[in-house]
């Protein structure tokens, strides 16, 4: 479709290293934006941009290109993938055909419809992505009509058989249901139960580990951002969308606007954060967003993740740590310090206290109060 920019991510092997190839129809502005992405290089051998594969890189690239509202096709990484016999054979991993021009128009209309229903931008992109995969699956199977049978077949072939995650399956079900409503289709009930998510406990850093991360962060912007994420218990999306006037130094509060669920809330501004933020603001002089990229746009989540990844090595942290780990650590440290869990729920913006109760399972204070019978033998 004219004007539609599509980025395709695919596996590429070179000298026993797994890479991510980044394909797109030639366009100067797209090429310039791709080159700005940290870690991206150009291969003359394969005549494509690429970056080194790691377990978070697809999410990082997806967020980076999604910030421009470009369509990102990462389906080659949704398939069970093993190293090809030759480095050139990575293209054989494409199992789903690309969307037709009509399919792209449908998907664009679906995205606008979701936006008008006031879904968050993240949800709009996610539902459009999974629905695009479903439409491509229908093309592959030459199915003209959406029916309970075709949805169940897609669920089995593309999700269950390929061992996709529970979260991914739920996203697909939700996206397809919204697409059916968008098309005003009347179909029978389809027998796909939403599986329960795995109840995994969050990774939590000690206060010493958090301090070592912040002390190892020499870049002023990165230090201010990571410190704010931890000290206020922010989601990274909330942090990068803050405006300078959301910081209320007199009241010691931060105003979080239109957070998850389109809710506003206030959270804590630590007194020790004030001089750090003032130094940062005086140096960078942000105008629109508190944390801005090179072109005055909101600092990308990809850049924030890369900043954290770099400093983890410098701090000698061996745990698997994400930006959300800082939020988990903030909540756990509050609980261990005696803060009522109802206040923690408000600070984090949780709808249900059940969500916040997970931190009682990782609090060392609660566990340390238990007398181990081994000590009385």
Q: What is the CATH number of the domain that holds 243?
A: 1.10.443.10
Output the pLDDT for position 54: 79
Range of the domain at 257: 207-367
Which residue in 273, 243, 274, 270 sits closest to 258, CA to CA?
Answer: 243
Count how many domains the chain has: 3
Question: Do 278 and 325 sit in the same domain of this protein?
Answer: yes
Structural domain contains residue 194: no
pTM score above 0.85: no
Clarify whether residues 360 and 224 are in a common domain.
yes
- Report yes or no on 96 lying in a domain: no
Active site residues: 235, 260, 324, 327, 350, 359
Which CATH number belongs to the domain containing residue 31 in this structure? 3.30.780
Q: Is residue 88 part of a domain?
A: no
Average of per-residue pLDDT across 75-90: 49
178 and 265 co-located in one domain: no
Same domain membership, residue 357 and residue 229: yes
The single residue listed with the structure tokens 């993240």 is 122
- Per residue in 193-226, pLDDT (tens digit) is 665 665 677 889 999 999 999 999 999 999 999 9
373 domain residue, yes or no:
no
Please name the residue that has the structure tokens 């790691």: 54
* Whether residue 229 is found in the same domain as residue 299: yes
264 and 330: one domain?
yes
Q: Is the dihedral of CA 227, 229, 231, 232 positive or negative?
A: positive
Q: How far is CA 370 from CA 202, 205, 335, 365, 375, in A?
A: 21, 21, 17, 9, 11
pLDDT of residue 367: 59
For the cut 90, the answer to whether the pLDDT of residue 285 exceeds it is yes
Residues 121 and 233 in one domain: no
Residue 187 lies in a domain: no
Q: Are residues 174 and 288 in the same domain?
A: no
Check whether residue 251 and residue 334 sit in a common domain.
Answer: yes
In a shared domain, residues 133 and 280: no
Confidence at residue 153, expressed as pLDDT on a 0 to 100 scale: 85
- For the record, the structure tokens of 302 come out as 């990809």
Q: Would residue 156 count as lying in a domain?
A: yes
Rounded average pLDDT over 125-143:
88
Let me know: does 308 contact 314? Beta carbons within 8 Å.
no
Residue 178, in any domain of the structure: yes
- Same domain as 270, residue 150: no
Read off the pLDDT of residues 259-274 as tens digits, 9 standing for 90 and up. 776 788 999 999 999 9
- For residues 105 and 110, what is the distance between their CA atoms, to the nearest angstrom? 9
CATH number of the domain where residue 142 is located: 1.10.150.130
The reply to whether 72 falls in a domain is yes
Could you tell me if 335 and 254 lie in one domain? yes
């Amino acid at each position: 479709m004219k004007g539609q920019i599509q980025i395709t991510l695919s596996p590429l092997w070179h000298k026993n290293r797994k890479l991510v190839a980044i394909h797109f129809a030639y366009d100067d502005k797209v090429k310039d934006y791709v080159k700005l992405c940290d870690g991206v290089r150009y291969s003359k051998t394969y005549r494509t941009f690429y970056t080194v594969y790691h377990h978070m890189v697809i999410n990082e690239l997806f967020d980076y290109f999604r910030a421009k509202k470009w369509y990102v096709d990462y389906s080659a990484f949704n398939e069970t993938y093993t190293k090809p016999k030759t480095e050139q054979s990575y293209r054989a991993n494409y199992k789903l055909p690309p969307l037709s021009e009509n399919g792209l128009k449908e998907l664009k209309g679906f995205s606008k419809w979701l936006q008008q229903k006031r879904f968050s931008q993240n949800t709009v992109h996610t539902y459009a992505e999974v629905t695009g995969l479903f439409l491509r699956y229908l093309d592959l199977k030459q199915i003209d009509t959406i029916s309970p049978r075709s949805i169940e077949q897609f669920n089995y072939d593309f999700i269950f058989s390929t061992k996709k995650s529970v979260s991914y399956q739920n996203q697909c079900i939700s996206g397809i249901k919204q697409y059916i409503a968008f098309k005003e289709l009347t179909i029978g009930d389809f027998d796909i139960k939403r599986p329960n998510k795995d109840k995994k406990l969050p990774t939590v850093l000690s206060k010493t580990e958090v301090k070592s991360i912040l002390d190892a962060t020499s870049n002023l912007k990165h230090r201010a951002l990571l410190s704010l994420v931890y000290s206020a218990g922010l989601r990274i999306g909330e942090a990068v969308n803050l405006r300078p006037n959301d910081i209320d130094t007199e009241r010691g509060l931060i105003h979080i606007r239109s957070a998850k669920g389109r809710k506003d809330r206030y959270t804590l501004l630590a007194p020790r954060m004030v001089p750090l933020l003032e130094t940062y603001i005086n140096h960078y002089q942000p105008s629109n967003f508190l944390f801005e990229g090179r072109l005055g746009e909101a600092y990308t989540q990809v850049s924030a993740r890369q900043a954290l990844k770099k400093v983890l090595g410098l701090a000698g942290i061996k745990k698997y740590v994400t930006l959300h780990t800082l939020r988990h650590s903030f909540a756990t440290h509050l609980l261990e310090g005696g803060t009522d869990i109802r206040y923690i729920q408000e600070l984090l913006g949780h709808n249900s206290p059940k969500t916040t109760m997970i931190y009682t399972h990782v609090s060392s204070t609660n566990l340390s109060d238990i007398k181990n019978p081994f000590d009385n033998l």
